[in-house]
Amino acid sequence: MTTEKIIIAADHGGYSLKEALKTHLKRMGFAVTDAGTDSDLAVDYPDFGEKAAGAVSAGLFPRGILICGSGVGMSIVANRFPGVRAALCLDEETARLSRMHNDANVLVLAGRKTDPETAVKIVGTWLTTPFEGGRHRRRLDKIREMELKRK
Ligand code: RB5
């Protein structure tokens, strides 16, 4: 069995949650690449969102996790990258649906809203729920066509 690679990044608003999740992901058997930030000193979320979402968009990682204070800034950044389907998830149900219906390949978390215990549950659900395909595939294909039209 090959170890799945995952990339994780955060700004200062997500730094401490990133550190907690890194440990958890390693325990789950993932090969974790940390694209920063490395402290809780203020940084700009687009710089770190770009590192992880860019790597997923380029096919270097199948999935990624992004964290900022609210999750909103990282979502806006990530969804600008072709092929990235980023989902801001504040609960397990949204995490499940983002996989089943949207085949989300980037999970966005809110470091200032979600405690580590809840985040671990959200991440676990998100990582283990498969995409349903079928009519959802057709809808994702339409999104892909939009990306290609605007290239
Ligand atoms: C940083 O203060 C905060 O604006 C950022 O973490 C994020 O919530 C932006 O959307």
Among 65, 116, 55, which Cα is nearest to 95's? 65
**Residue spans per domain, the chain:** 5-149
Q: Which CATH number applies to 5-149?
A: 3.40.1400.10
Structure tokens of 96? 């499940």
Query: Is the pLDDT confidence value at 2 over 80?
Result: no
Q: Coil, helix or strand for 110?
A: strand
Residue with structure tokens 């964290």? 67
Mutational pocket test of ligand 1: of 16, 43, 68, 108, the residue with most ligand atoms within 8 Å of the beta carbon: 68
In angstroms, the CA 72 to CA 55 distance is: 20
Q: Whose CA is nearest to atom 4 of ligand 1?
A: 69
In angstroms, the CA 101 to CA 86 distance is: 13
Query: Is the pLDDT confidence value at 86 over 90?
Result: yes
Query: Is the pLDDT confidence value at 140 over 60?
Result: yes
Which of 12, 24, 68, 89 is labelled catalytic? 68
Query: Is the pLDDT confidence value at 141 over 60?
Result: yes
In angstroms, the CA 45 to CA 125 distance is: 25
Residue with structure tokens 């968009």? 57
Please tell me the distance between residue 68's alpha carbon and the centre of ligand 1 in angstroms: 5
Among 45, 46, 52, 38, which Cα is nearest to 7's? 52
Q: Is the pTM of this model over 0.95?
A: yes
Mutational pocket test of ligand 1: of 44, 70, 79, the residue with most ligand atoms within 8 Å of the beta carbon: 70
pLDDT (tens digit, 9 = 90+) per residue, 46-62?
999 999 999 999 999 99
